Amino acid sequence: MIDEALREEGSAMRQREKALKILLLGQSESGKSTTLKNFRRLFARDQWEKERLAWRTVIQLNIVRAINTILDTLADEFLENPPPTPTRSVRSRSDDSHTSKDSLRSQASPTTDKLQLLRRRLGPLRGVEDDLKKMLGPSEAQERSPSTPLSYLSTRDRAEFYVRSGNWRDTLQVPGASARFGQGNRASRGNLRGGQPGAGTATEAHETDSATEVLVGCKDDMKTLWKDEAVWEILTRREVKFEDSADYFISNADRIVTRGYEPSDEDVLRARLRTMGVQEYHMTSEGESLPTNNIVDPNPLPPADGYSWLLYDVGGARTQRSAWQPFFEGVHAIIFLAPVSCFDERLEEDIRFNKLEDSFVLWGGICKSKLLANTTLVLFLNKCDLLEAKIANGAKVKRFLPSFGDRPNTTDAVIKYLKQKFKDTMKQNSPERRTLYIYPTSVVDAEETTITLNTVRDSILRENLQNADFV
Ligand SMILES: Nc1nc2c(ncn2[C@@H]2O[C@H](COP(=O)(O)OP(=O)(O)OP(=O)(O)O)[C@@H](O)[C@H]2O)c(=O)[nH]1
Ligand SMILES: [Mg+2]
């Protein structure tokens, strides 16, 4: 038995050594985990299907946190600007010199009454949030630099729930989920802080069901609150921001907030759970690969199914980045994600920095690294869909990125400009000639990302074929 165990371990080690290693890098919320999910959706279909139901808890938490963020904001608003007394309301209406806050206060009290009623009726969601968090595992304190005021975090910290990854594997509870995520060897040996959803007990399944029951009961009120114009006036004035997926989930509440809900591929891609540390995923190409084009390739690649892949997903927040370095050695490809829609956003960990600026600096550091001198570089200019939406809403890129100059304020022009800027940054930091693959992406778009990832996979294979191990 010992011999057999040693043989198996040896064979697993040889497989690991031969595996193509891909590291996903980029700032927090850039889309690394979403890209990894796409790899699993395409090339580890069995695991993807098994874990599908487990994401339900995360999606429910995403919804509840968005609604509770609104409830908290309304509570602050009403504390600072108490609802009008009748006398005050009459006086305000007759006085044009009042500020916009006063004009909101002076609005007919039915608006305030309606919001107060919604607050009361949605009160049980606080308990649901706590229950869902407990199922996922204990969270850790929010990271922030001393320069980030608490007032900024108070609107954002709800969006940044994450779990101690070591616990989350054992604690996420999903009724009826029958399988666990696959584990990389190193993760299971405890070298990495990896963890994924797993199956739950009957008691915990009951808790999940009671969370669903409350959510179903609150569905219409949640939708009303989310669509309310007075609410958005307050949220905009108080600069409250939501996770990118909040609108998607609440707009689809009729489908999602139901008893028998099973997340679709797109729902899973949109589910947000912040990554802590480094998580490793081992994958053999068992999934279906779609042709990327219909041109006959004169140098066809050997079938990709023969390769095994190790993908590393990292936490992108500033304090997480020191954990990246040990994974640079021996990595075959880096996929760097730069979210291009965040040209007007500040870095959460330190609001003195613009997010796009942080991406440039981070990218420069990656290109400069001697350890990565022979690594294939792939750059995803991600969140193009959100960039397009922001520009359509009238955002002016030049205001936040002065070097953009007088170029047309269009999505295409911004992407073209950023492509060049990232290329130039690479050349400055890594003067020797090297190939860079750049793709404008929206990694929540499954169809588009399928094509991109097939191309990326082929490029990485091709670049690394010189290494006899892979042939
Ligand atoms: N609309 C849109 N949303 C995206 C896109 N890429 C990622 N998102 C969403 O952005 C959020 C953050 O994505 P993640 O993949 O979790 O980000 P991450 O880089 O892993 O972040 P950390 O784990 O904090 O380092 C998720 O809710 C995603 O669904 C995109 O291209 N378009
Ligand atoms: Mg992540």
Ligand 1 center to 273 CA (angstroms)? 9
- For 6-56, how does the pLDDT look when each residue is reduced to its tens digit (9 = 90+)? 988 887 777 777 788 999 999 999 999 999 999 999 988 888 898 898 899
Do 426 and 363 share a structural domain? yes
Do 291 and 221 share a structural domain? no
d(CA 124, CA 256): 19
Q: Does residue 274 form part of some domain?
A: no
Return binding residues for GTP. 244-245, 269-275, 382-385
Do 200 and 313 share a structural domain? no
Domain that holds residue 208: 56-83+108-179+186-265
Do 245 and 349 share a structural domain? no
What's 319's domain CATH number? 3.40.50.300
Ligand 1 atom nearest residue 276's Cα: 23
Number of structural domains found in the chain: 2
Q: Does residue 51 form part of some domain?
A: no
Do 313 and 245 share a structural domain? no
Do 314 and 224 share a structural domain? no
CA dist 46 → 58, 284, 298, 446 (Å) = 20, 11, 32, 17
Q: Quick one: the chain helix, strand, coil %, rounded to 5?
A: 55, 10, 35
Ligand 1 atom nearest residue 386's Cα: 1
- For 216-240, how does the pLDDT look when each residue is reduced to its tens digit (9 = 90+)? 999 999 999 999 999 999 999 998 9
Do 202 and 112 share a structural domain? yes
- In this prediction the ipTM stands at 0.99
Q: Does residue 250 form part of some domain?
A: yes
Ligand 2 center to 354 CA (angstroms)? 20
Contact yes or no for 452/441 (Cβ under 8 A): yes
Ligand 1, atom 28: closest residue by C-alpha: 270
Do 74 and 33 share a structural domain? no
Ligand 1 atom nearest residue 270's Cα: 29
Ligand 1 center to 238 CA (angstroms)? 24
Q: How high is the pLDDT of residue 60? A: 95
pTM, full prediction: 0.81
Do 112 and 40 share a structural domain? no
The amino acid at residue 180 is R
Q: Does residue 237 form part of some domain?
A: yes
Instruction: Mention every residue, 6+ apart, whose C-beta is less than 8 A from residue 184.
Output: 192, 194, 279, 280, 281, 282, 310
Instruction: Mention every residue, 6+ apart, whose C-beta is less than 8 A from residue 452.
Output: 380, 439, 441
Do 128 and 18 share a structural domain? no
Instruction: Mention every residue, 6+ apart, whose C-beta is less than 8 A from residue 436.
Output: 377, 378, 379, 422, 423, 426
Most confident stretch, 73-77, 274-278, 364-368: 364-368
Ligand 1, atom 12: closest residue by C-alpha: 29
Do 432 and 375 share a structural domain? yes
Q: Does residue 457 form part of some domain?
A: yes
- For 435-467, how does the pLDDT look when each residue is reduced to its tens digit (9 = 90+)? 899 999 999 999 999 999 999 988 888 888 765
Helices (H) and strands (E) in the chain, counts: 21, 6
d(CA 98, CA 93): 9
